[in-house]
Structures are given as structure tokens and as C-alpha cells.
Amino acid sequence: MSELSMNKIEIEVEDKDKGAKRFEISCSYMERVFYDLFHPQKPLLFPRKRGWYPFTNVYELSSEIVIEVELAGISGDNIRLGFRDNYLVIWGQRKERISGANILYHQLEVEYGIFERIIHIPFEVDKEGIRVYYENGFLTIRLPKICSQNIQESTTTIGVGGSAY
């Protein structure tokens, strides 16, 4: 697996008004709901204005969170990453390989055009330590945690019976 240089995939950090960001996240979520409703068919009657949504896996390890995004057929130059508040935003474009007025499609399932994914990151990450890889159509982003989320274990006696009030 080869590591992408940061000059190919830019990482932008932007602080936005939290109220405005919540609205953006809500809109993105609703668009995803409608997308899932019509997937895998291309929604010809209800085209999306903001593009398509690549499939994404997000999982947490002890020292980092890992995001895997399926982006087959996209050049690394057409992928962007950014941070807004506690959200990682991944966007870019998959360009059509064949186009023209005389094309008669028999099946059209591959999404082209602009895409965007917004992923909530539930803790602070070391933005200087981010590693980004793109291999075989998968973008892998490794976000190191700034501090581990230690869970303090404690014990207490639980009363049985009686009233809680």
C-alpha cells in the first residue's frame, strides 16, 4: 500500500459556526436517506444536486480511528479532505470515462460526478499525524487520537427493592 503525499490530497481545517454546520449535516443526512431509498438504481426522476455518496467503513482502534472509502476510478488529484469542527469531510469527483450524444446505455450503475461524505469524529485527532493511502480504489485515512479515551472502572453497591424516589 502506498502512502499519498499531502500535496495530492489536501487537508483543510476550517472552523465554522456550529449552528450552520449542524444544518449542513442534517441536509447531508437527508440526502443520504433519499439516496439509500433509490439505490442501486440511478434516480433519474429525482436527481441529486450534491452528487453521489461513496460507501464508507469507519472503525476505531486503541490509538486511532480508521476511515475506508470506496473510490474506484478516481485519481488522487480529484480527492479532497477537510476538517470542520468535529467532522471529516471527504469530497471530490469521478469523471465519466465515456461520453457523447450517440451513447445508448443498457445498464448504468456506476455513479459519476461530484461526491461528498461527512463523518463525525468523536474525539480530537492529531492533524499533523494523519496518514492517507489510496490503493486499488480504496482511500484509507488513519487519524491518530490526541489522548486515549480511558474509561475509569469503579464499583458501587446496588440496592435491590425499595423505591428510587
Kindly report, residue by residue over 14-38, the tens digit of the pLDDT. Answer: 555 555 555 555 555 566 666 666 5
Instruction: Set out the domains of the chain in order of their start, with CATH numbers.
Output: 11-96+110-144 (2.60.40.790)
3-class SS string, 21-49: HHHHHHHHHHHHHHHHHHCCCCCCCCCCC
CA 13: distance to chain centroid? 15
- The enclosing H or E element of 1 equals none
- The reported pLDDT for the residue numbered 144 is 94
pLDDT band at 151 (very low <50, low <70, confident <90, very high): very low
